[in-house]
Structure 1
Amino acid sequence: MMPLRYTRHDARRWAAFSGDYNPVHFDKAWVKAQGGSALSVHGMRALLDVKHFISPQSAGTPYLKFTARLRRPLWRDADYILWRAGKKNAAATVTAAADELPCLACQLVPASKLTLPATESQHVLESDELATLQALFASLLADARRWHFLDALLFRHLIQDTTLLRQQSIAALLPPCATPGALFQRYPVVQTHQELLFDSRLLAPWQPDASPQALTIDTLTALTVGDLQQGMIVRIAAATRWQNLPIGSAITLKVGPVAA
């Protein structure tokens, strides 16, 4: 088990890397206006610690699949416990210290193949920007694995991608916004799930590269269910290859009222 507690400092450092300035994490007045009561922790920031907690040294399968369900928000400046799920080294649960209720659960399992949705657009992350992001990430997680860094990069890309919300499946249902990050400023958005597929060789230790090569990131086809009035579900996805080793991430978001 491992104790977890996240502060404003943690929120600012994750936002500086990812670009996720969703007001549910920073603006208590905004949260209250939407019917909420407290500031929540970035789901992907908490998952970063969980992924590190369950990450094995190696795997006997070519690919791995990570899945996470975020059941309840984690609140700022509150105490939580990260547990291994039973005897499974690659599964974990985070519970609130106060009431022991589960907040998120995840597992890392073998996968025989890696299948991703179609590519809608591409973005090249140039060497100088990638070097800057490496330095920011290094302060977030000690002893990181390659998949931890690439996973975080894919999330950052999705938050800042200017092509994502122009996909037909999304554009027909949402008002014009440049990026998902801009959408956060207009509507309450919370993460509910993540699914990650990657080459098991990305379990190797990660080290910042002084002169990293440019990285091409694919924005994949998004899926949507529902509408803004009833609560809309949006599944966004991205993928990349690091030294020809693939990794793809799908994030499920709920666009709708903040739970009290």
Structure 2
Amino acid sequence: MQLQFGAEQIEAWAGLSGDRNPIHFDLEAARRMDAADVVVHGMLALLPVKHRMGRVAQALAQDWMQFKALLKAPVLRDSTVALSTRERSDSTGFKLHSSDGGSEHVIGHVRAVEAPVWSSTTPGFLLAREEVMAWLARFRDDLGRGFDDWVALDALVFSHFIRTQLGVIFDCLSPQFSQRPRPGRLEDLADHLVVQTSHQITFCTSLRSLGELQADIRCEIDNIHLIESPGKAVGTLDLGVHVSDRHVMTITLGLMIKALPTSQGVMQ
């Protein structure tokens, strides 16, 4: 399976996610981040990979599966990448690599798992039904056409998180990462770079074709674990996703936060 992402797809994902980091549009900005060309959003590159890998393993409708991806190197605009898979004893591994096999962009696996227990004391946030309907309509008419519902739900929650909830990360960090005003959205990042390093989704397989994503969707942010060093923090956080008051997905984001020497706050 070969994939390629051009300027039109990059713009479409930026419109859905709100991520207008200059490295996704401006060659000079990308080169300042040591990229040879404009960088494709990591989540954009993962969309077809998630859909394909979610179809690899046969599972019953109420089983749970886990998709895990480590983002190793960015995919560049208009470059051709290939998805290869390998069967293991308890999972199916995958790689997203350059067409010549010379570099790896994403590695990971998909496997069946036990139903997780989600327990959180955080108040969480509710996605307005009208917003969900409008977002899903845009997604399914373009980038998400034909993708399973769990892929759409993951993309929706991730987009909402980076557009409105980034401040919870900085609330957990020491004063070396303080920024005023408190950043809540991507465009508020002036002094820091936020890079996604991994993406894990544990989901009920009924989400392959749920047909209920226009119902109430609530998300809780919990289990934030960050390790700090001078000018940098790395760690993970969980997003517990509920549809119609039923826990159907846990998203675990791996993140790196770096202080920038100049005012160029971005997310990669």
Q: Which residue of 1 aligns with 2:143?
A: 140
Structure with the bigger RCO (C-alpha within 8 Å, sep 6+) is 1
TM-superposed deviation, 1:144: 1.6
Q: After TM superposition, list the pairs within 5 Å mapping 1:58-207 onto structure 2.
A: 58-60=58-60, 62-86=63-87, 90-116=92-118, 118-138=120-140, 139-162=142-165, 164-165=167-168, 168-170=171-173, 172-176=175-179, 177-179=182-184, 181-182=186-187, 186-203=191-208, 205=209
What is the identity, as a one-letter code, of the residue corresponding to 1:73?
P
What is the identity, as a one-letter code, of the residue corresponding to 2:204?
D
Q: Which residue of 2 aligns with 1:21?
A: 20
Alignment length (residue pairs): 253
C-alpha contact (below 8 Å) 2:166/2:185 kept by paired residues: no
TM-superposed deviation, 1:74: 0.9
Q: In 2, distance between residues paired with 1:160 and 1:228?
A: 27
| Secondary structure of residue in 2 paired with 1:120 | coil
TM-superposed deviation, 1:233: 1.1
Q: In 2, distance between residues paired with 1:16 and 1:133?
A: 10
Q: In 2, distance between residues paired with 1:115 and 1:28?
A: 44
Q: Which stretch shows the higher mean deviation, 154-163 or 136-145?
A: 154-163
TM-superposed deviation, 1:237: 2.7
C-alpha contact (below 8 Å) 2:170/2:177 kept by paired residues: no
What is the identity, as a one-letter code, of the residue corresponding to 1:170?
L
C-alpha contact (below 8 Å) 1:23/1:185 kept by paired residues: no
| Secondary structure of residue in 2 paired with 1:170 | coil
What is the identity, as a one-letter code, of the residue corresponding to 1:158?
F
| Secondary structure of residue in 2 paired with 1:73 | coil
| Secondary structure of residue in 2 paired with 1:50 | helix
Q: After TM superposition, list the pairs within 5 Å mapping 1:217-256 onto structure 2.
A: 217-227=219-229, 229=231, 231-243=232-244, 244-256=246-258
CA separation of 1:214/1:112 partners in 2, compared to 1, >3 Å: closer, same or farther?
Answer: closer
C-alpha contact (below 8 Å) 2:201/2:251 kept by paired residues: yes
Q: Which stretch shows the higher mean deviation, 127-136 or 22-31?
A: 22-31
5+ residue gaps in structure 2?
A: 261-265
TM-superposed deviation, 1:227: 3.5
C-alpha contact (below 8 Å) 1:80/1:97 kept by paired residues: yes
5+ residue gaps in structure 1?
A: none
Q: CA RMSD in A?
A: 2.8
Q: In 2, distance between residues paired with 1:171 and 1:94?
A: 36
C-alpha contact (below 8 Å) 2:166/2:186 kept by paired residues: no
| Secondary structure of residue in 2 paired with 1:188 | strand
C-alpha contact (below 8 Å) 1:8/1:76 kept by paired residues: yes
CA separation of 1:46/1:224 partners in 2, compared to 1, >3 Å: closer, same or farther?
Answer: same
| Secondary structure of residue in 1 paired with 2:177 | coil
**Can you list the C-alpha shifts for 1:29-49, whole angstroms capped at 9, x where unaligned?**
333345544321111111111
Q: In 2, distance between residues paired with 1:19 and 1:179?
A: 12
TM-score of the superposed pair, with normalisation by structure 2:
0.81
Q: In 2, distance between residues paired with 1:95 and 1:166?
A: 31
Question: What is the percentage of aligned positions where both structures have the same residue?
Answer: 21
Q: In 2, distance between residues paired with 1:11 and 1:95?
A: 19
| Secondary structure of residue in 1 paired with 2:172 | helix
| Secondary structure of residue in 1 paired with 2:161 | helix
TM-score of the superposed pair, with normalisation by structure 1:
0.84
Q: In 1, distance between residues paired with 2:164 and 2:223?
A: 13
| Secondary structure of residue in 2 paired with 1:149 | helix
